[in-house]
């Protein structure tokens, strides 16, 4: 009887380990935490989330690649990203705008069920998220920056419903004031290289 119970326990543990969706094991703990940008940044690094500080990956890059590989294979997977923006103007509603020294940390929870991606974004200092959005595709763009910039190249991942979108079309959508240029998308991983 003891052997049977031991075999059942081993099977249950193996099943639990194999069915785990999260690449970032404590992603719910990170995403649900209400905290200052500094506290959230430390928590995200400690819990192995993917961390960006001012458009540079500073932790969890291997977690991101594992997430991307698993999603690209059509398997269920989840990940949390933490994106820190510093030097924002006091009245900034825009991510990454240069300014007075204000810090903002955003948590991104991305789930993939084998068919569609679900994205939820939350300011680390607020309890409520900005809502949940669903997308069909995870697109990857990398290349040389074509405009005058301190950066020479980029590596960007975008959730979208149109698999044929280009990075130029997405940028046009982000920066155009003409509503006809807007395409549904969410930039979730964005890093630039000098």
Six-digit token string for 50: 């993917």
Beta carbons of 145 and 168 less than 8 angstroms apart:
no
Six-digit token string for 189: 């991983």
Beta carbons of 92 and 85 less than 8 angstroms apart:
no
Six-digit token string for 164: 């044929």
Per-residue pLDDT at 97:
45
Burial of 53 (0-12, 13-18, 19+ CB in 10 A): middle
What is the DSSP annotation of 41-99? HHHHHHTT-EEEESSSEEE-HHHHHHHHHHHHTT--EEEEEEEEEEEE-TT--STT---
Six-digit token string for 194: 């000098």
Per-residue pLDDT at 189:
85
> How far from 67 is each of 21, 93, 123, 124, 134, CA to CA, in Å?
10, 29, 22, 22, 17
Per-residue pLDDT at 150:
66
Per-residue pLDDT at 6:
39
**Predicted model pTM:** 0.74
Chunked mean pLDDT (size 10), the chain, 194 residues: 41 32 56 91 92 90 94 94 78 47 89 95 93 94 73 83 83 66 80 75
Six-digit token string for 117: 């991606």
Per-residue pLDDT at 61:
92
């Amino acid at each position: 009887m003891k052997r049977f119970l031991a075999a059942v326990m081993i099977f249950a543990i193996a099943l639990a380990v194999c069915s785990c969706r999260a690449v970032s094991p404590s992603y719910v703990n990170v995403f649900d935490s209400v905290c200052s940008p500094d506290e959230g940044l430390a928590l995200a690094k400690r819990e192995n989330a993917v961390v960006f500080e001012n458009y540079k990956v500073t932790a969890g890059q291997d977690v991101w690649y594992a997430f991307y590989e698993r999603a690209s294979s059509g398997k269920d997977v989840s990940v949390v990203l933490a994106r820190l923006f510093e030097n924002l103007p006091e009245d900034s509603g825009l991510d990454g705008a240069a300014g007075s020294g204000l810090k903002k940390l955003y948590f991104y929870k991305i789930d993939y069920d084998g068919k569609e991606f679900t994205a939820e974004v939350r300011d680390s200092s607020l309890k409520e998220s900005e809502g949940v959005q669903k997308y069909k595709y995870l697109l990857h763009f990398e290349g040389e920056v074509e405009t005058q910039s301190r950066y020479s190249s980029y590596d960007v991942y975008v959730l979208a419903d149109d698999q044929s979108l280009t990075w130029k079309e997405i940028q046009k959508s982000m920066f155009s004031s003409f509503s006809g240029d807007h395409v549904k998308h969410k930039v979730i991983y964005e890093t630039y290289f000098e």
